[in-house]
Amino acid sequence: MSRILKKYSHKYEFLKLELEETKEQFELFEVEWKKIFGKYFNNIKTEVWVNEETGEMRSSPPDENKRADTPEKVKKLYRKASRKAHPDRGGNTDDFNEIKNYYENNDLLGLLSYASQNNIDFEVDDNDQEVLDKSCAGIENKISQIRSSLVWHFFTGSRRKKLAVIMQLEKEHNIKIDQKEIFK
C-alpha cells in the first residue's frame, strides 16, 4: 500500500468515527428537540418523496444524475466489489448495500477498504488523489451538515445562540414559541 493511500486510509477511518460520534450525539439532541419543540410543529405539513419501486420515503427530492460524474476507477472497483458481495454469488445483502452506498457517494476509500478486507486486487496511483480527497470531503460535509443544523446549534450553543434558533424557527414557520417554557 502506498504512503499516500495509508494517509488517506487513516484520515478516512478517523472521519468515519467522527461522523458516527456526531450522528449519535445528534440523535440524542433530536429526542430532546422533539420534546421541547414538537408541539409547535404538529399542524405543519411537509412534502415527502416516495420511490414507487422500493417504497423509500425521503424529505428531499431524489438526485437523478448523482452518478454522472463518477470516475472510471470508482466504477471499475465497484463492479469488482459488487460481484464479490452480490447475494446471488455467495455474498451478503449488507455488504452489497454498503458497497452500493460507497459507489453512489463516489467514496473510493470506502470501496478500497472493502476491497482490501476481501482480497480484491486494485491499483491506486498518484492520479487518484483527487478522488481520495472527494471521499474524505464527502464525510466532512456530512459532519458539517449535522453540526450546522438548528438542532445542533440549539444544544451546543450559548443562551444567545438558543434564542437565535428560536427566532429563526418563529420566522420560518410563522409560529410563536414560549421562551419561558423552554428556559425553565
Q: Is residue 164 part of a domain?
A: no
Higher pLDDT among residues 32 and 128, named by residue: 32
Q: Is residue 25 part of a domain?
A: yes
Q: Is residue 91 part of a domain?
A: yes
Reported as a single tens digit per residue, the pLDDT across 69-112 is: 667 777 888 888 888 888 888 888 998 998 998 888 778 888 88
Q: Is residue 122 part of a domain?
A: yes
Q: How far apart (Å, rounded) are the C-alpha atoms in residues 38 and 25?
A: 19
The percentage of residues in the chain with a pLDDT greater than 70, rounded to a whole number, is 83
3-state secondary structure of 92: coil
Number of folded domains that form the chain: 1
Q: Is residue 171 part of a domain?
A: no
User: CB 9: neighbour CB atoms within 10 A?
Assistant: 16
DSSP per-residue codes, 39-70: GGGTT-----EE-TTT--EESS---TTTTTT-
Work out the average pLDDT over 146-174.
93
Q: Is residue 23 part of a domain?
A: yes
Q: Is residue 178 part of a domain?
A: no
Q: Which three cell numbers stand for residue 125?
A: 496511483
Range of the domain at 62: 3-148
CB 115 within 8 A of CB 123: no
pLDDT given for residue 57 in this prediction: 61
Higher pLDDT among residues 156 and 66, named by residue: 156
Reported as a single tens digit per residue, the pLDDT across 21-67 is: 999 999 999 999 999 998 887 766 666 666 666 666 666 666 654 55
H-state helical runs in 38-157: 72-85, 93-104, 108-117, 129-147, 150-156
Q: Is residue 73 part of a domain?
A: yes
Prediction pTM value: 0.70
20-24, 81-85, 154-158, 160-164: least confident range: 81-85
CB 108 within 8 A of CB 131: yes
Given its phi and psi angles, is residue 60 left (phi above 0), alpha (psi -120 to 50 degrees) or beta? beta
pLDDT given for residue 153 in this prediction: 95
Query: What CA dihedral angle connects 84, 87, 92 and 95, to 10 degrees?
Result: 60
pLDDT given for residue 65 in this prediction: 45
